Amino acid sequence: MAPLPPERPRALLRWPTYLMGHLHRTGVSRIDAELAGSGVSLREFYVLVCIGESGPLSQQRVADRLGLDRSDLVKVLDRLEAAGWVLRERDTEDRRRHVLTLTGDGRATVGKVEEVSSEVTAELFGRLSPGERETLHRLLLKAFGEPSG
Amino acid sequence: MAPLPPERPRALLRWPTYLMGHLHRTGVSRIDAELAGSGVSLREFYVLVCIGESGPLSQQRVADRLGLDRSDLVKVLDRLEAAGWVLRERDTEDRRRHVLTLTGDGRATVGKVEEVSSEVTAELFGRLSPGERETLHRLLLKAFGEPSG
DNA sequence: TCCTACTGTAGGGTATCCCTACAATTGAGC
DNA sequence: GCTCAATTGTAGGGATACCCTACAGTAGGA
């Protein structure tokens, strides 16, 4: 028989932080599970997107934009560079920095992850109508502090 | 000068999972920071609420309700029991189980955390109007799979 | 009695988050 | 040119969360 869904404590459902935590974890788990074969994690995807979007960046800049610590980013980039998705070169104008560039393979990986992410997102919010999903997204953006465009 | 807010990658703002992850982490960090002096974490609060709400429970039941692994719950309960917030006794009817009960001090701690959580939640969604906050909460509940009442 | 299942516990492995320390490099002031 | 502070990438540690296995004690059914 199907393992009936666990009954959550009603008193915790009051807290958006609790709800977002569960939805976030569920989404990450499902996406990572789908991506297991591709050898890329959701966290690495974020880094790839950041580099791909804002052109060549230093590691410190990527860390700032993603809210990561630059020391943690080092290991992520080690993997992304080894996979051939990111080019890591010395900045000739400031030899303290590295210049990070997304490769063609990196861009292809981003596309693949976006597909998976779209599917999982649709499934994660399957109980919501398209209008409700759009409203939820808009409110999250606003709470996040970004223009809703 | 004030450290101007970091510019997030626009391509990631498409993903509700990314947005919820950031909001969740921000909320947890702020709540835990506020609670640092009280010696209780948000995670422990969840356990206290669960036990307080559903009366005496076994550890396995608490783990199921919160989506935790029962082996991880052991250490949490060690702390909660040592703090005098939870009573952990053998179940006389099934000696494999422990009977978990919230103490008076535990209930007081729950109340204190709820106050802090309310303040942080209001701050976290400060950019939203009361109506928008209510809508966001309702949509999160619906996505989560709970009746919106 | 024997076997299976459940419960709490110990422990390990991995990942995230946050911190410090350090060497190389840069730029400003002298 | 020299000195000093700040920046950058890197190494490493600690705390926590999440997931897994193993094991002993217990319960219940064949």
Consecutive H or E run containing A79: helix A70-82
Query: What percent of chain A shows pLDDT beyond 70?
Result: 94
Cα dihedral across residues A121, A123, A126, A130: positive or negative:
positive
Name the stretches of chain B with pLDDT < 50.
Answer: 1-2, 149
Say how many C-beta atoms besides its own lie within 10 A of residue B18's C-beta. Answer: 25
- How does DSSP classify residue A54? S
pTM of the model: 0.93
| pLDDT, average across residues A6-25 | 94
Nearest nucleotide from residue B25 CA, by C1' atom: C17
Amino acid occupying residue A3: P
What is the predicted pLDDT for the residue at A149? 42
- Nearest CB among B42, B136, B142 relative to A139 is that of B136
Query: What are the tens digits of pLDDT across the range A8-17?
Result: 999 999 999 9
B70 CB closer than 7 A to any strand C atom: yes
What is the predicted pLDDT for the residue at B146? 72
Residue whose token pair is 């702390």 = B79
Say how many C-beta atoms besides its own lie within 10 A of residue B2's C-beta. Answer: 4
- Alpha-carbon distance of A88 to A57, in angstroms, equals 10
- B5 or A72, which is more confident? A72
Decide if A10 and B127 are in contact by the 8 Å CB cutoff. no
Q: Which residues of B touch A22 (CB under 8 A)?
A: 67, 144
Helices (H), chain B: 16-35, 42-53, 59-66, 70-82, 104-124, 130-144
Q: What is the 3-state secondary structure (H, E, C) of B30-69?
A: HHHHHHHHHCCCHHHHHHHHHHHHCCCECHHHHHHHHCCC
- Alpha-carbon distance of B62 to B56, in angstroms, equals 10
What is the predicted pLDDT for the residue at B149? 42
| pLDDT, average across residues A35-45 | 92
Angle between helices A70-82 and A42-53 (to 10 degrees): 90
Q: Which residues of A touch B135 (CB under 8 A)?
A: 135, 139
What is the predicted pLDDT for the residue at B5? 63
